[in-house]
Amino acid sequence: MTSIILFKHTHFQLSRNLLTRTANTYPLLFKEESLNSFKERKKKNKSSRQKRSRNEGDKVDSEEVHHFHMKDESDEVDRGKRKSKVLGNKKRKNEIIKETMPVEVDKLHNEWESGFDEHNVANEVEEKKRSISRKKKRKHQKLEKAEVDKVDELCNDVKDIANSKNGKSKKAHKMKKKDQLSSRKDVKLLERRGDAEEDEVYQIFAGDDDCSKGMKKWITEYHQSRPGLKILQQRIDDFITTHEAQEEEARKEREAQAAEGGWTVVVHHKGRKKTTDSESGIAVGSVAQAAVMDKMAKKKSKEVGLDFYRFQKREAQRNEIMMLQSKFEQDKKRIQQLRAARKFRPY
Amino acid sequence: MASEVETYTDPVNLKVRELLKEVHLDYSPETTKYVHDVVSSIKEAIDQIPENLQVLADVASGFVRDIGADKVEFQFKKPKSIEIGGSYSIQCIAKPDVNIDLLLRLPKECFHEKDYLNHRYHAKRCLYLCIIKKYLNLSSSVQNVRWSTFQNEARKPILVVYPAVKLFENPGLVVRIIPTATSLFSVAKLNLERNNVRAVNQGDVLQATPKYNSSILEDMFLEDNTEFIRRTFLEWKELREALILLKVWARQRSSIYAHDCLNGSLISIIMAYLATKSGGNRINNSMNAMQILRVTLDFIANSKLWDQGLLFQPQGGHNISKEQRGTYLWSFPIVISDPFAGFNLVFRMTKNGFQELRGEAALALICIDKCKDGGFDEIFLTKIDFPAKYDCCIRLNLKGNGEVSASGFCLDDECWRSYEQKVLSLMHRGLTKRAKFVRVIWRNTTLDCNFENGLAILDREPLFIGILVSSTEEAFKKAIMGPSPENKDEALEFRNFWGDIATLRQFRDGEIAEAVVWEHKEWERHLIIKEIIEHILSRHLSLSEENICTIVDQLDFSLLHGNGDPKNLLDAFDDLSKRLRLLNDIPLKISSVQPLDSAFRLTSVFTPTPHPLAYEKGVGLKLQKFTSTCIQPLEVMIQLEGSGNWPMDDVAIEKTKSAFLLRIGESLQSNWGMTCIATENDVDVFMSGYAFRLKILHEKGLSLLKRQIGGDQAKRVLCTDKQLFLCGQHSSMINGLHGRYSIYGPVVRLAKRWVSAHLFSASLTDEAIELLVAYLFLNPLPFYAPSSRISGFLRFLRLLSEYDWAFSPLVVDINGDLTPGDKKEINEKFMLSRKGYEENMQNVNPAMFLATAYDQTSEAWTRSSPTQAELRRLMAYARSSVSLLTKLILQDQPDSYRWECIFRTPLNNYDAAILLHRDKMPYPSHLLFPSELNQGRRVVCGNASKLFNPFMLPEDIKGSLDELKNKLMVNFDPVRCFVGDLEKKFPNRFKVWYDSLGGDAIGLTWEKAIKKRERGDTCEEEKDLLDALKAVGEVGKGFVRSIHLLKAPRLS
The residue that leads in pLDDT, A32 or B794, is B794
| pLDDT for B105 | 92
Residue of A nearest to B944 (CA): A206
User: What are the distances in angstroms from CA B842 to CA A36, B801, B1008?
Assistant: 10, 18, 14
Closest CA to B986 of B1006, B1000, B1003: B1006
Q: Is the ipTM of this complex over 0.95?
A: no
The residue that leads in pLDDT, B630 or A305, is B630
A240 close contact with B: CB closer than 8 A: yes
> B648–A171: do the CB atoms touch at under 8 Å?
no
> B930–A6: do the CB atoms touch at under 8 Å?
no
Residue B189 phi, psi dihedral angles, 5° rounding: -70, -20
A119 close contact with B: CB closer than 8 A: no
Min Cα distance B619 → chain A (Å) is 23
Min Cα distance B436 → chain A (Å) is 29
| pLDDT for B840 | 59
Closest CA to B754 of B561, B933, B901: B901
Residue of A nearest to B945 (CA): A206
Min Cα distance B488 → chain A (Å) is 55
| B552: Cα separation from own chain's centroid | 13
| pLDDT for B573 | 92
Closest CA to B202 of B411, B514, B468: B411
The rounded percent of chain B whose pLDDT value lies above 90 is: 30
The residue that leads in pLDDT, B325 or B500, is B500
pLDDT confidence of B843, banded at 50, 70, 90? low
Closest CA to B456 of B405, B498, B507: B405
> B1035–A213: do the CB atoms touch at under 8 Å?
yes
Task: Identify the weakest region by mean pLDDT among A71-80, B29-38, B202-211, B336-345.
Answer: A71-80
Best B802, B829, B885, B935 residue to mutate vs chain A (most A CBs within 10 Å)? B935
User: What are the distances in angstroms from CA A50 to CA A336, B153, B622?
Assistant: 17, 35, 59
A36 close contact with B: CB closer than 8 A: yes
How many contacts (CB atoms, under 8 Å) link A and B? 363
Residues of B in contact with A331 (CB under 8 A): 8, 11
> B680–A235: do the CB atoms touch at under 8 Å?
yes
By residue count, chain B amounts to 1052
pLDDT confidence of B1017, banded at 50, 70, 90? low
Task: Judge whether residue B246 has pLDDT over 60.
Answer: yes
A117 close contact with B: CB closer than 8 A: no
| Furthest-apart CA atoms within chain A: distance in Å | 98
A158 close contact with B: CB closer than 8 A: no
Task: Judge whether residue B272 has pLDDT over 70.
Answer: yes
Residues of B in contact with A188 (CB under 8 A): none
Torsion of CA B401, B403, B405, B408, to 10 degrees: 150
Residues of A in contact with B991 (CB under 8 A): 39
User: What are the distances in angstroms from CA B710 to CA B155, B713, B715, B717?
Assistant: 75, 7, 11, 12
pLDDT confidence of A313, banded at 50, 70, 90? confident
pLDDT confidence of B757, banded at 50, 70, 90? very high
Give kind and range of the element (H or E) at residue B176: strand B174-180
Among A residues 61-100, those touching chain B with beta carbons less than 8 Å apart: 67-68, 96-98, 100
What average pLDDT does range B194-204 have in this prediction? 81
Residues of B in contact with A113 (CB under 8 A): 929-930
Q: How confident is the model over A62-92, as pLDDT tens digits?
A: 333 333 333 333 344 344 444 444 444 444 4
> A232–B1022: do the CB atoms touch at under 8 Å?
no
User: What are the distances in angstroms from CA B273 to CA B17, B313, B344, B350, B360?
Assistant: 25, 9, 14, 20, 20
| pLDDT for A312 | 84
> B865–A33: do the CB atoms touch at under 8 Å?
no
Min Cα distance A262 → chain B (Å) is 30
B649: region left, alpha or beta (phi > 0 left; psi from -120 to 50 alpha): beta
> Could you tell me which residues come within 8 angstroms of residue A278 by beta carbon, excluding any fewer than 6 positions away?
none
Task: Judge whether residue A34 has pLDDT over 50.
Answer: no
Give the other-Cβ count within 10 Å of B23's Cβ. Answer: 21
> B1022–A104: do the CB atoms touch at under 8 Å?
no
CB under 8 A, 24+ apart: contacts of A243-248: A243/A12, A243/A15, A243/A18, A243/B652, A243/B655, A244/A5, A244/A9, A246/A13, A246/A15, A247/A9, A247/A12, A247/A13
The Cβ-side half-sphere exposure at B709, using a 13 Å CA radius, reads 8
Residues of B in contact with A26 (CB under 8 A): 717-718, 720
A50 close contact with B: CB closer than 8 A: no
Give the separation between CA B1023 and CA B396, rounded to whole angstroms: 59
Give the separation between CA B782 and CA A185, rounded to whole angstroms: 46
A122 close contact with B: CB closer than 8 A: no
Q: Beta strands B99-105 and B174-180: pairing type?
A: parallel
pLDDT confidence of B367, banded at 50, 70, 90? very high
> B699–A29: do the CB atoms touch at under 8 Å?
no
Residues of A in contact with B708 (CB under 8 A): none
What average pLDDT does range B964-982 have in this prediction? 88
> A34–B666: do the CB atoms touch at under 8 Å?
no
Torsion of CA B91, B94, B100, B106, to 10 degrees: -80
| pLDDT for B827 | 86
Q: Is B851 helix (H, G, I), strand (E, B) or coil?
A: strand
pTM attached to this predicted model: 0.81
| pLDDT for A163 | 35
A309 close contact with B: CB closer than 8 A: no
The rounded percent of chain B whose pLDDT value lies above 70 is: 92
Number of H helices, E strands in chain B: 34, 32
Give the separation between CA A171 and CA A167, rounded to whole angstroms: 6
Task: Judge whether residue B651 has pLDDT over 60.
Answer: yes
- The answer to whether B958 touches B566, Cβ cutoff 8 Å, is no
Tell me whether residue B489 is exposed, middle or buried, using C-beta atoms within 10 angstroms of its C-beta: 0 to 12, 13 to 18, 19 or more.
exposed
Give the separation between CA B659 and CA A313, rounded to whole angstroms: 54
Task: Judge whether residue B908 has pLDDT over 70.
Answer: yes
User: What are the distances in angstroms from CA A191 to CA A175, A180, B843, B1022, B1049?
Assistant: 8, 13, 36, 12, 14
Give the separation between CA B166 and CA B172, rounded to whole angstroms: 8
Give the separation between CA B149 and CA A57, rounded to whole angstroms: 42
| pLDDT for A270 | 62
Closest CA to B619 of B695, B670, B673, B565: B673
Cβ-nearest to B648 among A67, A113, A271: A271
| pLDDT for A289 | 61
Give the separation between CA B795 and CA B789, rounded to whole angstroms: 10
Give the separation between CA A292 and CA B909, rounded to whole angstroms: 55
Give the separation between CA B210 and CA B346, rounded to whole angstroms: 12
A24 close contact with B: CB closer than 8 A: no
Q: Is A10 helix (H, G, I), strand (E, B) or coil?
A: coil
Q: Is A116 helix (H, G, I), strand (E, B) or coil?
A: coil
Give the other-Cβ count within 10 Å of A121's Cβ. Answer: 12
A206 close contact with B: CB closer than 8 A: yes
> B931–A40: do the CB atoms touch at under 8 Å?
no
Cβ-nearest to B831 among A102, A113, A326: A326
User: What are the distances in angstroms from CA B795 to CA B373, B839, B849, B930, B965?
Assistant: 21, 33, 19, 28, 44
Tell me whether residue B94 is exposed, middle or buried, using C-beta atoms within 10 angstroms of its C-beta: 0 to 12, 13 to 18, 19 or more.
buried
> Beta strands of B430-571 (E only): which ranges?
435-441, 463-469, 479-481, 503-506, 512-517, 548-551
Q: Is B834 helix (H, G, I), strand (E, B) or coil?
A: coil
> B1022–A235: do the CB atoms touch at under 8 Å?
no
User: What are the distances in angstroms from CA A206 to CA A216, B400, B436, B942, B1040?
Assistant: 9, 61, 60, 7, 9
A30 close contact with B: CB closer than 8 A: yes
Task: Judge whether residue B64 has pLDDT over 70.
Answer: yes
Residue of B nearest to A171 (CA): B937
> A33–B868: do the CB atoms touch at under 8 Å?
no
